[in-house]
Each structure stands twice: as structure tokens, then as C-alpha cells.
Chain A
């Protein structure tokens, strides 16, 4: 099967997962806060396609779909977001901490950019252990304001570590536009300052995003040190109180430059698939996601013993 058709299915996994999750969140079935990856499907599909299970990746807040694409059964991710016993971290991590080392998922961290430092350590260890695996870290545009962003780029470049920086530039850190709070809107320019090879790519164009990611991974695997990709994209989700962006901007990204629509046009015009096939893929994925949601809903709450387990390795904590 054509890799683009695979990627198309992957984009639908992200889309359907997030739409289903958002629906359940609004119904009150999902606790906590919700950051969806809607609108960023091509970026996630491209990254997942280029990594292997022996690599490490640190997802960002909007990567629920990517966690599934990495190979963890979808129901285990969904159940984690529902805070259930069957979740990938037994319901103790939730949306921002759904790690699964068996597929290389090293977990997100709610403090943006923290994992940019952690990724250095994984990459350094892989290098010391003579492995040709890499550490990928997925960050948003807002993270470029953190000190760890700069500490990480500097050290990865200086020590030539196998780190793949995937910067998902969706234009806003919650409500603050990139250009309003940073010296540049083109975040790959920070990588240039650290003498790190980089590329800026249309993150809503799956063909371009896929190609850029493959080339970056290839560069790193050959022992050339880190690589920085800036994916220009846009998120559907507004801020917690609603949509705050101008109408023409919303129209452009949601109608004209919407990643799944662009992928459909490409697949059909290049003769890889017809509309009926694409519709079938969508329907299959949507049905699968509904199964995951049902599984999560039907799963039990975590065992109360989990509340106090694994605070320390090998030591129990005092009872109340």
C-alpha cells in the first residue's frame, strides 16, 4: 500500500480520536483539561511514520493521536485519558503523562519544554550505548520562550546528540501570538543561531511534512547530530473561553488549507485512491475510535492501592 494512504489513515486516527475525546469531554466523561491535536493531523502522522519503537519520543500536549500511531493500543490511551485502571499509566498520568516505553513513548510533561532537557539525556545515553536510535521531542511554539529550549538546542548542537526537534508552530501559545512574544515568528531561526541544521515546512501538507521528517531522521541516524524541523500549522481549538482569532484566518486554515482535505485532493488527483476508498478509511477509523471510547467508559476506576504505589522505587510511603 502506498505510504501516503497509510499516512491518510493515520491522520484520521488523530482526527477521529480527538473528535471523540472532545465530545466525551463536553459530556463530562473526561476529567481535567483538554488540549486537542485537531488541525495538526499531518504533523503527527509524519512524525509517527518516521520513528521506530527503539527511538524515544517526548510528545507535546496535543499528541493523543500520535501516542496511538506510535503503537500503543488506542483503548489504553483512551482509558488513560478517562482516568481508568486500564489506562497505559493506570490512570495516574492522564492526558499529559501517558507514557509507554514499549513503543518509545517517554511521556509528556505539563511544564512546557522540560522534556527538551530530558531528551538530551536519552540521546546522550543512546550515543554512549552505541545505539543508532534517536530522541525526538515535540514542542509547541510557546516553548521557545523557555530557558530549557535554549539550553537544549545549545547542548545538543555542542555535543552532536541524536535529537530530533519537532517544533509544531500553530501560531499561538494559548492566546498569545508567536510574533507578539518572541523575537521571530520563524522559530527555526533559533536553531540557526545554535548552528543546527533546520527546515521550515508546511505542517498541513502531509507530503512535505513526511519528506522533511524522513530526511531529518536520516540525517540524525547517520551520526550527524541534531536536526530541527519547524512545522507551520494551526490548531482548531481556540482558547478556553472560545474562538479568538480573526474570521479570515479561521477560514483559511479550516477550509482552504485543512490538512485532511489537502491530503484527499492529493491522493485523488495523483490516482492513489478514489473518494470511496478514502471514505471507507474514515469510516473504519471512526468505528475503531468508538470502540476505544466504549472500552474506556466501561473500564473500572483504578485500584485504590495505586494512589500510594510507585512513589519510591522499592519503598512504601507512610499511611495517613
Chain B
């Protein structure tokens, strides 16, 4: 075990996979000698060279298209899109090409790519460096969305993602990059489509993702002092998400709050809460509540940004409302 940040944990996963499998290669903007905008690929260019750690021009569609094409002929590319806000420039490649190929060619091609991208707000990045984009992709059959919240999961999920045969959007929350945790230095994998129970509880279930896992855990710790027992579930895979774990928890607690940072309308929170209402209605003692970003872009000023993004206090409030 070693204390690592999420940046170091993902770097470690990439290093392990590149050392083990020469089909794995990286491409993206400034990922080579610079090591990426957030340092996730630091040291890999020195170790694996220009061929396998490719600096690209600002051509996001070509980055994803290149990854898809290489994956079609047996490679395991891990493209990086510097900020998830930029995924709009390669949306077509992801949605119409990577995600549909296996289906429309009836299994004759696969597109095993892992698109790494920095996402989320909370650091004054402004409207085009702060968004949570999972909602843009929730409606895309064939695509997998992975979103770790801890260093150990970040590493294990990255290894599982590279080994998986489906196209994967791997969301790395910027506010979590420096979160530290114990990470096994050897190779291990964390299962996809399997949520983690981050904290066990009996009164209410909070279904969270990425930074909202930490906000929810902080809320749960404070509410424990008031005698409220909160179960926190970290979805880890957002699409397709782990209905089994979520439903079992909600049937146990009878109350559910869904917490994610993206805007409320049409997002992950909408899908999870609707599914809980459909499948667990008879077990519910209160309406399912959502804690999400407000339906607004992310403003630059940190004082304004705080008003848009959800946090610990919003989770506490929703839990109390569910218990009222």
C-alpha cells in the first residue's frame, strides 16, 4: 500500500497497463513531455516514447477518431480530452462512431477505447472548464461512463476499463485529483457496473457520484451526530449503473436522495430517481429527492459558482426533508 493522489493512482494504472500490453497507447494534447494539464501522464512519455504517448494538435475529433480506428484493428488506445467541456467538439465521434459501431456492424467490429477527461467544477474555471457532462452522454446506447471518487477505485477502474471491450468515457473530477488514499501498488481491477457502499446506514440512502460522494460522506458524518444513519452509495459506473445495489439499499432504508453535480434536468439524478420510484415504490416512505447543480451554466466568480454547485449542506437538507 502507498498513499497516492487520484492523479498518481491513474498514472500508476496507465503505467502498469502500458508495461504489460504494448497495444495500449495514449494520445492527446500536451500529454507527452508536459505530462498532461493535470500531470496524470507525467513520466510516461519518458518511459514509453513518442509512439505510445502521442502529443496531438487541437483536433479533438481526430483524437477520438484515431483512437476508434486503432481500436478497430486491435489496439487499446487511451485518448485524453483535456477538459470534458471540449467533448462537444468530438461528440459525433463518441456517439455515432465509437458507441454504435459494434451494434450497427452486428458485432464485426469493437471499439475498446478509454476516453480520459477532466470534469466538474469548484475551482473558478468558468463556463467552459467546469461542467459536469455525464448528462450529455447518459442517452447513448453502447457507451459506458465510469467516474471514480477515490484513488483506489480510480486505479482499479482504469485497469478494468482498459481491459474492457466497450468504449468508455472515464470522468476524472478535477476537485478530486489531489484527494489521497491508500492504493495497492500491484495490478488489480475494480469491477465495472458495480457500485460501492461507501458508508453503511439504515435511515436513508444517498446515491452519489464523484465529488458528491465526498460531500455526502461529510453530510453523513455530521448527521450521525444527530442520530441519523445515512448509507452512501458511490455509483462508480454511471452508465449502465448498478440498479441491484441501489435498489437493495433503498428497499432497506425506505428513503433515497440522489446527489450529482450536473444540472438537474435530464441528468443522471433524473434517471436514478425515476428508476427508484418505478422499482422500489412500495418500499419508499418519502419521495426520492435530487441534489444537483442548478439549471444554469457555471459562472467564473467563485462566490457565484458556489451558488450553482451542490454541496454538503444541500445533501443534509435533502436528507432531512426525506426524513421529515
A90 adjacent to B56 (CB under 8 Å): no
B165 adjacent to A313 (CB under 8 Å): yes
A152 adjacent to B62 (CB under 8 Å): yes
B59 adjacent to A154 (CB under 8 Å): yes
Stretch at the interface among B3-11, B38-46, B89-97, B249-257: B89-97
CB distance from A76 to the nearest CB of B (A): 12
Stretch at the interface among B101-109, B169-177, B314-322: B101-109
B69 at the interface (CB under 8 A from A): yes
When chains A and B are docked, how far (Å) is the Cα of A129 from the Cα of B69? 13
A114 adjacent to B102 (CB under 8 Å): no
Stretch at the interface among A26-34, A92-100, A195-203, A247-255: A92-100
**Residue in B57, B103, B105, B193 whose Cβ sees the most chain A Cβ within 10 Å:** B105
A148 and chain B: residue at smallest CB distance: B61
Tell whether A125 pairs with B109 under 8 Å between CB atoms, given A148-B62, A151-B62, A155-B62. no
A92 adjacent to B104 (CB under 8 Å): yes
B70 at the interface (CB under 8 A from A): yes
B52 and chain A: residue at smallest CB distance: A128
A-B contact count (CB 8 A): 142
B72 at the interface (CB under 8 A from A): yes
B103 adjacent to A310 (CB under 8 Å): yes
In the complex, chain A residues 122-140 whose Cβ is within 8 Å of any chain B Cβ = 122-126, 128-129, 135
When chains A and B are docked, how far (Å) is the Cα of A312 from the Cα of B143? 8
Closest 10 CB pairs of A and B: A117-B65, A121-B69, A313-B165, A151-B62, A151-B59, A121-B70, A121-B66, A118-B69, A125-B70, A122-B69
Q: 13 additional contacts, CB 8 Å, given A92-B105, A311-B102?
A: A89-B104, A97-B104, A110-B96, A115-B65, A117-B64, A117-B69, A119-B65, A121-B65, A124-B70, A125-B73, A125-B75, A147-B61, A158-B57
18 of the cross-chain contacts (CB-CB < 8 Å) are: A90-B106, A92-B104, A99-B109, A107-B104, A111-B96, A114-B65, A114-B93, A115-B65, A117-B65, A122-B70, A124-B70, A125-B69, A128-B51, A129-B73, A152-B62, A154-B59, A158-B57, A311-B142
